[in-house]
Structure 1
Amino acid sequence: MFGLHYRLERHAIGLVVAVIVVASIGGLVEIAPLFTINETVESTADMRVYTPLEVAGRNIYMREGCYACHSQMIRTLQDEVDRYGPYSLAVESQYDHPQLWGSKRTGPDLARLGGKYSDQWHTAHLINPRDVVPESKMPGYAFLARTPLRLDDLPLHLKALRAVGVPYSDDMIAHAAEDAYGQALPDDARAAGVTERYGEATSVRLFDGDARTVTEMDALVAYLQILGRLTDAAHADNLAEAE
């Protein structure tokens, strides 16, 4: 093998041809499956988009590097299904840009985290993780509860997501800032517009327990509470029921 390589190095044209052949094989392995993606990725009728508040929370999740210690992909291994719930389906990530699947688990997988704990638990955990999980190695994020959420750029975030295929309407984009405000402050007049645009099942509540303002804590907790709940496809008895 090394002898062949040494001989190729002495002949530039031969080496170029060999590189092209090897690169083509690798490219074929990567590209060929994309031609059958419509046959391998599930479809579901109940998939919904992230609300503006959840989009903001996801951006904070990425900004703080949470994906470095938490995956969002449950594999088909039985021990993972027993611990975390139904294995992840591709359709559940169709509106995730970028996907946050990962494989590093300093902390547990979060793919099915939504609804597992209360908002109060998440807020306490983010402020000081050891208050609720004594053995936790996670750093605290108390500053999120003190940091007002930036709302003015949310229409731009939704517009960018629409450009890559997320079906946000013009109405959703135009009202992004007020919908984020209304989702976190249920007594505000703007709360009604959230359920009107995103459905009655959308959670509208005080995520961080503070009715004075909308904070980054509101956004991050709202995002954590929707993980695994954008669609019920993974909980269907079989994939045929999810299509």
Structure 2
Amino acid sequence: MPGFHRRLERSAIGFVLAIIGVSAIGGFVEIAPLFTIHETVEEAPDMRLYTPLELAGRNIYIREGCYACHSQMIRTLRDEVERYGPFSLAVESRNDHPMLWGSKRTGPDLARIGGKYSDAWHVAHLVNPRDVVLESVMPRYGWLQRNRVKIDDLRQHLAAQRAVGVPYTDAMIANAVTDADAQANPDGPAAGGVTERYGAATNIRVFDGDPARLTEMDALVAYLQVLGRLTDAAHKVAAAPGR
């Protein structure tokens, strides 16, 4: 075998061909599964889309690097399922661009955090994590409650998401700015339009407790409250006979 390596390394053409061959094998292993992707991604007819406000919150989540300490993928291991809930399905990330599965858990997994705590809990936790979790090492994010959320470019954000396959309609894109403001203003005249476009299960309420201003806290809490709740596919799989 050492003699084979010496001969191969002394032949430039042979060495290049060997590299191409090994790369081709690796490429095939990576690419071939994509041709059967439709067979591996589950069906979820009830899948809802992120509203403009939730999408803005997701952008803030990415901006603040939350994915560096929190994953959004529950593995099939028993201890994870018992702690966090049903294991994650591929279809749940179908509309996530980029995906936020993560690989590190300085903090807990957030794949099923939606609805687990109240809006007030999330606000208090983000303002000062130690107020609700004494041993938390999470940084404070109190400025989110003071910063107005940027929504004037949400039409472009939704259009970009549609370009990569998220099925936002023309009406959703055209009303993105209005819908973002209306989702945190349940008593406003435009709240009904949010429900009409995004479904009756959409959370429409004052997320940060202050109806006078639309803040980054509103957006981030709105996003956290839908994690794991855009489809019931994982819960249906967990409840299926034999599981």
What interval of TM-score do these two structures reach, taking the shorter chain for normalisation?
over 0.9
User: Residue in 1 aligned with 2:24?
Assistant: 24
- Give the secondary-structure state (helix, strand or coil) at the position aligned to 1:180: helix
1:216 is aligned to 2:216: yes
**Aligned-partner Cα distance in 1 for 2:160–2:71:** 24
2:170 match: 170
Residue 238 of structure 1: how far off its partner (Å): 5.8
Separation (CA, whole Å) in 2 of partners of 1:75 and 1:179: 34
- 1:74, distance to aligned residue in structure 2 (A): 0.3
Are the structure 2 counterparts of residues 197 and 124 from structure 1 closer, same or farther at C-alpha, using a change threshold of 3 Å? same
Cα distance, 1:240 vs structure 2: 7.9
Alpha carbon RMSD of aligned pairs, Å?
A: 1.4
- The residue that corresponds to 1:160 in the other structure is 160
CA deviations over 1:146-170 (Å, ceiling 9, x no partner): 0001111000000000000111010
CA distance in 1, matches of 2:166, 2:2: 50
Q: Which residue of 1 aligns with 2:90?
A: 90
1:27-66 alignment, distance < 5 Å: 27-66=27-66
Using the alignment, how far apart are the partners of 2:215 and 2:24 within structure 1? Answer: 50
The CA distance in 2 between the partners of 1:131 and 1:188, in whole Å, is 32
2:91 partner amino acid: V
Consecutive unaligned residues of structure 2, counting only runs of 5 or more, are none
Cα deviation digits, residues 20-69 of structure 1 (max 9, x gap): 01101111110111111111110111001100000000000000000000
Q: List per-residue Cα deviations over 1:139-194 (Å, max 9, x = no partner).
A: 00000000001111000000000000111010000000010000011122221211
Please give the residue correspondences for 1:62-81 in structure 2 after superposition, counting only pairs within 5 Å: 62-81=62-81
Query: Deviation per CA, 1:98-139, whole angstroms, max 9, x where unpaired?
Result: 111112000000000000000000000000000000100000
Deviation at residue 239 of structure 1 after TM alignment: 8.9
Q: Counterpart amino acid of 1:42?
A: E
Runs of at least 4 residues off by over 6 Å: none
Residues 71 and 110 in structure 2, CA contact (< 8 A), matched pair in contact too = yes
Residues matched between the structures, number: 241
Q: Contact (CA 8 Å) 2:86, 2:238: kept in 1 or not?
A: no
Structure 2 SS opposite 1:228: coil
Deviation at 1:5, TM superposition (A): 3.1
DSSP 3-state at the match of 1:226: coil
Q: What is the aligned-residue identity percentage?
A: 71
Q: Equivalents in 2 of 1:134, 1:238: separation in Å?
A: 33
Say if 2:230 is the partner of 1:230: yes
C-alpha deviation, 1:2, in angstroms = 4.8
**1:99 alignment counterpart:** 99
Aligned position for 1:112: 112
CA contact 1:182–1:190 (8 Å) conserved in 2: yes
Q: What residue number does 2:140 align with?
A: 140
Is the CA contact (8 Å cut-off) linking 2:147 and 2:216 kept in structure 1? yes
Work out the CA distance in 2 between the residues paired with 1:42 and 1:212: 41
Alignment-mate amino acid for residue 32 of structure 2: A
Calculate the TM-score normalised by the size of structure 1.
Answer: 0.96
Matched residue, 1:127? 127
Evaluate the alpha carbon distance shift between residue 188 and residue 36 of structure 1 in structure 2; reply closer, same or farther with a 3 A threshold: same
**Equivalent residue, structure 1, for 2:190:** 190
